[in-house]
Copies of this chain bind each other. A is one copy, B any other.
Amino acid sequence: MWQLLQFPLCPFSRKVRLVMAEKGVPAELVRENPWERRDEFVDLNPAGETPVLVETERNIVLIGSQPIAEYFEETVEKTPMIHGDAAQRAEIRRLTEWFDEKLFREVVEPLMVERMRKRLVSKESPDTRVLRDAMRVGNNHLDYLDYLLDHRRWLAGAALSLADFTAAAHLSVIDYLGAVDWRGHKQTKDWYSVMKSRPAFRPLLGERMEVIVPPQHYDKVDF
C-alpha cells in the first residue's frame, strides 16, 4: 500500500491525489507540514517538499508531482493522462509545467504564503500589496484558460489530460483561500465545474484545514 506524505493545501499533493484516484490506486494519506522540515522527511526528500510517495514493502520512494504522475502513467493503464502522439504529449507536458511553475510561482505560492502560512505559522498579517498583485496575475491566468477553452474541448486538446488535473489542483487551492474571482470567466468556470463533479475530486473538496475556512461556494459543483 502506498503512503502519500502530503499537505492538504499543497497543490502538488492535490495533483497526485487526483492522478491516483483517477487511476484507481489506493493510498494512505499522511499529513506533513513541509515548513517544519522534519528530519525523517528531509531524509526522504532533500528538497523538503510535499508530495512524497512511499511503498515500504518494495522499498520505493517517489518524489515530486510530475515524476509521480509519469510513474503512474507508465504503470497503470486506466485513465490515460499523457496521451496522443508525441507532439500532443509535449503539449500536455508544456501546459502541466505552465501550471506547476508559472501559475504556482506567480499566483498560488504567494497566496499560500499570505493567506495560509502567515496565519498558521508565523502569525503575521498578510501583505495586501502582494495579495492584490497575485490576484491580478491570477486573473490573467484565468484569461489564458478561457482562451484555451475557447479553442479546445479540454485545456491541452480534444481529450481530458494531466494538464486539466494539474490546473484544477492549483485552482482548488486558491479557491479554498477565497482568492479566485470567477466573474467574467465563464469558460473556465464551466470547465472547473465539470472537474469538481468527478468522483476523484470529491474527497479533496470535502476536506477542511484547521483555522482556515473556505468560502461557501468552494465545494459546490454549481457555484
Q: Which of A60, A68, A86, A144 has the most CB of B within 10 A?
A: A86
In the docked arrangement, what's the CA distance between A93 and B68, Å?
Answer: 9
CB interface residues, A 19-62, toward B, < 8 Å = 46-47, 60, 62
**Chain A, range 177-220, C-beta contacts under 8 Å to B:** none
A93: chain B residues at CB < 8 Å are 64, 66-67, 70
Complex CA–CA separation, A93 to B98 (angstroms)? 17
A74-98 near B? 1/0 per residue, CB < 8 Å? 1100000000001101110110011
Query: Which label, helix, strand, loop or mixed, suits the secondary structure of the A interface?
Result: helix
User: When chains A and B are docked, how far (Å) is the Cα of A54 from the Cα of B87?
Assistant: 11
Q: Is A160 an interface residue (CB 8 A)?
A: no
Q: Is A102 an interface residue (CB 8 A)?
A: yes
Q: CB-CB < 8 A to A98: which residues of B?
A: 47
Query: A150 interface residue, CB < 8 Å from B?
Result: no
Distance in Å from the Cβ of A194 to the closest Cβ of chain B?
24
From residue 89 to 146 of chain A, which have CB atoms closer than 8 A to chain B? 89-91, 93-94, 97-98, 101-102, 144
Q: Is A63 an interface residue (CB 8 A)?
A: yes
Contacts of A67 in B (CB 8 A): 89-91, 93-94, 97
Task: Give the oligomeric copy count.
Answer: 2
Contacting residues of chain A (147-184) with chain B, CB-CB under 8 angstroms: none
CB of A71 within 8 A of chain B? yes
Whether A71 touches B97, Cβ cut-off 8 Å, given contacts A46-B144, A47-B102, A144-B46, is no
Residue of B nearest to A58 (CB): B87
Contacts of A64 in B (CB 8 A): 93-94, 97
* Beta-carbon contact of B62 and A87 below 8 Å: yes
Q: How far is the CA of A190 from the CA of B61 in the complex (A)?
A: 29
A99 to B10 CA separation, bound complex (whole angstroms): 21
Whole-angstrom distance between the alpha carbons of A9 and B102 in the complex? 21
